[in-house]
């Protein structure tokens, strides 16, 4: 045949196939005959060699669903999707809330650790701080000290207090303020005929310290009590 390639059948020796005129040849169509029967399709992205596939909803027996059944199935699928969306959204919101709560707990833990560290530091410094306060309160002996020594000791004490204040540590040493059992420890009572001074701090015997609302040590004080 013209323009066609002949391929002999398999199984017998080549010589027998050539000599056997009754052998039916296998015909392979040429490239042109293939392309003549193949029509490519065009899409928005250009020409492609394979047609697009269209999926049709069918029953278990392979029969096409009616438009009513297809609509029903789409609605059921949409309902399932909405339920899954709500589950995912609820899970995400729960995870986000857990994360926020964890962050708050971690922040609170860091704050408490910082406060405890400062509290331990002040407790170790209390003896030195008390020694300064005792030296200043003893006016008779304090006045006998050389003026330069007084200035030096006072300067060191002020530097120490400044460092404590920058760390958020406050002194409890005010007088003539209402007695507060959360920050004051009453040592004795002083009678007074001034009603306005009733249950106010008369004198601070030992300075107290606190960090924010956390009391490291209450101030030991004497308080006024009004007597008619």
Q: Is residue 10 part of a domain?
A: yes
Q: Where are the beta strands (DSSP E) in 78-196?
A: 169-172, 184-192
CATH number at residue 199: 2.30.22.10
141, part of any domain: no
Going by C-alpha positions, the residue among 135, 130, 159 that lies closest to residue 145 is 135
Structural domain contains residue 58: no
Are residues 197 and 224 in contact, defined by beta-carbon separation less than 8 angstroms? yes
Domain count of the chain?
Answer: 2
Tens-digit pLDDT profile for residues 165-209: 998 899 999 999 999 999 999 999 999 988 899 999 999 999 999
Please classify residue 223 by burial: count the beta carbons closer than 10 Å to its beta carbon, then call 0-12 exposed, 13-18 middle and 19+ buried.
buried
Q: Is residue 214 part of a domain?
A: yes
- The average pLDDT across 120-124 equals 90
User: Averaged over 40-49, what is the pLDDT?
Assistant: 50
Structural domain includes residue 197? yes
Weakest-pLDDT range from 5-14, 51-60, 91-100, 212-221: 5-14
Provide CB contacts within 8 A for 150, sequence distance 6+.
Answer: 142
pLDDT at 28 over 70: no
Encode pLDDT of 70-99 as tens digits.
Answer: 788 888 888 889 888 888 988 899 999 999
Domain membership of residue 180 (yes or no) is yes
Question: What's the pTM?
Answer: 0.55
DSSP string, 136-163: HH-HHHHHHS-HHHHHHHHHHHHHHHHH
**In which domain, by residue range, is 41 found?**
5-48
């Amino acid at each position: 045949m013209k323009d066609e390639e002949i391929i002999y059948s398999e199984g017998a020796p080549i010589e027998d196939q050539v000599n056997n005129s009754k052998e039916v040849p296998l015909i392979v169509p040429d490239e042109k005959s293939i392309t003549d029967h193949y029509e490519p399709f065009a899409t928005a992205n250009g020409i492609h060699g394979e047609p697009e596939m269209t999926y049709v909803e069918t029953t278990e027996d392979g029969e096409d669903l009616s438009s009513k059944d297809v609509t029903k199935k789409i609605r059921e699928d949409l309902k399932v999707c909405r339920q899954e969306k709500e589950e995912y959204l609820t899970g995400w919101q729960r995870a986000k809330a857990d994360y926020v709560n964890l962050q708050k707990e971690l922040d609170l833990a860091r704050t408490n650790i910082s406060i405890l560290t400062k509290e331990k530091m002040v407790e170790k410094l209390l003896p030195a701080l008390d020694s300064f306060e005792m030296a200043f309160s003893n006016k008779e002996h304090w006045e006998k000290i050389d003026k330069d020594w007084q200035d030096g000791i006072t300067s060191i004490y002020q530097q120490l207090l400044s460092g404590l204040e920058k760390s958020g540590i406050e002194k409890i040493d005010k007088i003539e303020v209402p007695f507060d059992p959360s920050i004051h420890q009453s040592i004795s009572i002083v009678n007074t005929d001034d009603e306005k001074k009733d249950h106010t701090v008369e004198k601070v015997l030992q300075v107290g310290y606190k960090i924010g609302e956390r009391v490291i040590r209450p101030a030991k004080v004497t308080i006024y009590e009004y007597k008619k």
